[in-house]
Amino acid sequence: MTGKRAFWTLVTASVTIHATVAFLGCCLVTALAWQFTHHGIGADPRPGAAWAGATLLALSTAGAIRSARRLWLGLSATRAMDRQVRAMAVTDTAIHTTAQQVGLTARVDVIESAGRFAFTHGLLRPRVTVSSGLMKSATPGELRAVLAHEAEHVRGRDPLRTLVADFLAARHIALPLLRHLRTVVAADRELAADRCAMAHCGAGAVAGALLKAGDTPRWANTAPAAAMGDRTLLAARITQLEGAIPPPIRPEHRQVAVTAAGAALYMWAIAGSAWLMSTTPLACLGRGH
């Protein structure tokens, strides 16, 4: 599955589930309150209907809290990273020509650091940050490969894409396969950035850049960003540099099994909630007394 397809599958699945729950949730709380008031939880019109409604509300509430926390952490980390980059930025005109060659005019910041790293950050107007340590150790061709790689992340607004994917995957804790789709999206974008760099500079320069670029500093790890030195896909990136097609990323068996159980739980909860609402006199459905 391509990263683009995985991303839109993630969006579609998450939005569909959320829309269904939101539609039912308009009257579900009222239905549960009426049922408990008049019959108690043990006297459903259909066995387990009230429990199904309560389960659906619990899943929805837990998902909303979890995704809101993930969004808040991502936004906070992005703001903190932007402040840190501005505080550490130094003037370096030598990189401007190379940046212009790969389409990064006025979008590259150099920061004083002995570490060798480069990453793309920022949500609506992403920028590239390169450390002075990487600039000193990389050859001109390798530096161009680094910037060409990061330019693809800028064009794809990959930090924003990462934040959206994290938010959607976090919303459905019972469906870990959605988290796998987020991993596929990130992997596809990383490989696409390497292909872009190879087209600009050749495989040798990209290999050298990959060898010299290290992981992002600790203060940048919590923000949604894309880094040249990301080691999580090292084997796949080397395979692509050698001219072969990297193998697809397969989900873990546990993810598939838990997602199947989670999907069954959702279907039971939605069906039970719909039945509960259909047998409850609700003014919001035109059946009030």
Locate the domains of the chain by residue range. 3-285
In the chain, pLDDT over 70 holds for what percent of residues? Answer: 89
Find all residues with CB under 8 Å of 284, minimum gap 6, and list them. 26, 27, 30
pLDDT of residue 49: 76
Alpha-carbon span 124 to 220, nearest angstrom: 18
pLDDT in tens, 215-256: 788 888 888 888 777 777 889 999 999 999 999 999 999 999
Q: Which stretch of DSSP H or E encloses residue 80?
A: helix 49-88
Q: Which of 167, 213, 201 is nearest to 73 (CA)?
A: 167
In the chain, pLDDT over 90 holds for what percent of residues? Answer: 58
